Amino acid sequence: MTHFLQEVMENNIGKIEENVPLSKYTTYKVGGIAKCIIYPKNIDKLVLLIKFIQKYHLNYKVLGNGSNLLFSDKEYDGVLIKLSDFNQLEIIDHKIIVGAGYSLMRLAAIATRRSLTGLEFAAGIPGTVGGAIYMNAGAYKSDMGYITSSVKVLTPDLKIITLTNQELDFHYRTSFLQKNKDYICLEVVLKLKQGKKSEIEKVIKDRKNRRVLTQPLEYPSAGSVFRNPEGYDPAGKLIEDLGLKGLKKGGAQVSEKHANFVVNTGTASATDVKELIEFIQKSVKEHYDIELKVEQEFVNWE
């Protein structure tokens, strides 16, 4: 790692942070220490960074806002890449061209100011645009797949190509990028529609009020833990009907507000969170014979 970091510095790839607690970079506020986080300045520097990673045979992962990840408590012995400098934004009529590192909530606010409708669902999702594409983030019966025109990506052989909406294979909380993790989202083209600013603001305000009443926003979490199983009650209702609301494992707890949220009450370890999630899965399987699928991604548990 020392020689790798030396090359990164010599080539002015971008800011480097070493021995970083992942609790600072995930919305669960848990996780071990990351050996390094690197912020490449642009696409050329990202390509060079990947070449160095390959040269030294290091593990790596692109990290957005950490809003859908559960890192283990052990050290991440690899390179985490943050695309915070990929934050360009251009709006042409109803088309938005935006970098992968741009804040999704900020983008929803800007779209609202421009009276552009289609991004209202994203106003409460604390991720990056790239992360939202990767997970096909969504809410209120809409998601990124409905508004994404195309995505510029870096391929595993370090070519820059554009994938169309159809090629991105968006489905409920998944996409081509999630199934092909060696592709890196660089830039996104969204197509919205003209709307009325007052109506867009009302929808966002109403949904915000609903979230405050029904979701445990006062605690660290990563949003909904499980996908809603097709053809059955929502995951939250299945969990609540089993009497699991409020169940604790160490500092992790099934939210008393919404049973499809696991929250960090302040002292949770990543292991607490994972074991509680697995207990819920097991209980639902035993009682309903339903396999709940986890929305969140477990990282560094091997």
SS (H, E, C) 186-200: EEEEEECEECCHHHH
Active-site position among 84, 150, 173, 269? 173
- C-alpha 42 chain-centroid distance: 21
Q: Specify which residues 97 forms β-bridges with.
A: 90, 189
Q: What is the token pair recorded at 139?
A: 């809410």
Side chain identity, residue 49:
L
Active-site position among 67, 103, 175, 295? 295
Do 201 and 120 form a contact (C-beta atoms < 8 A)? no
Q: Listing from the earlier edge strand, what are the strands of the sheet with 160-164?
A: 89-92, 95-99, 184-191, 148-154, 160-164
Give Cβ neighbours of residue 154 (< 8 Å, ≥ 6 apart).
Answer: 43, 46, 47, 50, 160, 183, 184, 186
Do 226 and 292 form a contact (C-beta atoms < 8 A)? yes
φ, ψ (nearest 5 deg) of residue 299: -125, 135
Q: Is 295 a catalytic residue?
A: yes
Active-site position among 23, 221, 224, 255? 224
**H or E element in which residue 237 lies:** helix 235-241
Q: Is 173 a catalytic residue?
A: yes
Q: Is 227 a catalytic residue?
A: no
* Alpha carbon distance 123, 206 (integer Å): 11
Q: Of 152, 98, 164, whose CA–CA distance to 129 is shortest?
A: 98
* Alpha carbon distance 159, 50 (integer Å): 12
State the catalytic residues: 173, 224, 295
